Structure 1
Amino acid sequence: MADHLSVTPKMAQILKVFLEDVEQPRYGFELMQLTSQHSGTLYPILATLEKAGWLNSHREDIDPKEAGRRPRRMYLLTPDGAVLAQARLEALAEAYRPPVNARLRPQGGTA
């Protein structure tokens, strides 16, 4: 399990989808639609997460003729991956959260 994995904003988008329901397997095209990421971005991230042990994947067990499509590769967060993903997303949110005492002023106006 690679707990030192550096989470990028695009990776965070993907992890957020998995964390919405940790028991729901996801497939590539679905993730592309939910994150607006192209396959050339998405699949390398999925491979990185799987190699790090954050995701497991398997081919869907369906009859292609009956389903009218090829089996999908399904991805699911591992239990450790879910814990690490949650912690990393919380750390990212904290890193980008403005200070509580920051005063917001409209630009170009008078304050």
Structure 2
Amino acid sequence: MTPRMTTSVLKVVAALLADPAAERYGLRLMQDTGLPSGTLYPILVRLERAGWVESRWEEADPAAEGRPNRRYYRLTADGVTQARHEVAAMQLQMSRATAPGTRPRPA
């Protein structure tokens, strides 16, 4: 199942594609994408349900760390493939829409 590719979803996917093997926690993704938590976390849930993203809770002592445990997210192998395809398709669509002599098409 391919999630609907909105601008916000593309921002999250692009941030995760910057280093596909790296795990990122929510606050870092909010900083990287500029999205608020109320937008980011539902997107991560949809991407996880689609099989594009996997997550895990950090195994740390919150008292020792001085903060709550973090939930880490990263793209699955299939997610990397699908995300690259969707980002490339969007870039192609944008380049066609802005090519000289063409008019943007409605979305």
TM-score (norm 2): 0.87
Q: Structure 1 residue 102: deviation in Å?
A: 1.2
Q: Which has the larger radius of gyration?
A: 1
Distance 1:90 1:69, change over 3 A: same
Does residue 26 (structure 1) correspond to residue 24 (structure 2)? The answer is: yes
Where structure 1 has 5 or more consecutive residues not aligned to the other structure, the ranges are 104-111
Structure 2 partner of 1:97: 95
Paired residue for 2:73? 75
Q: How high is the sequence identity, in percent, across the aligned residues?
A: 38
Partners of 1:41 and 1:72 in 2: CA distance: 18
Partners in 1 of 2:98 and 2:69 — Cα distance?
49
**TM-score, normalisation: structure 1:** 0.84
Which has the larger share of helix? 2
Q: Residue 34 of structure 2 corresponds to which residue in structure 1?
A: 36
The structure 1 segments of at least 4 consecutive aligned residues displaced by more than 3 Å after TM superposition are: 98-101
Q: For the residues of structure 2 that align with 1:67 and 1:24, how far apart are their CA atoms? A: 21
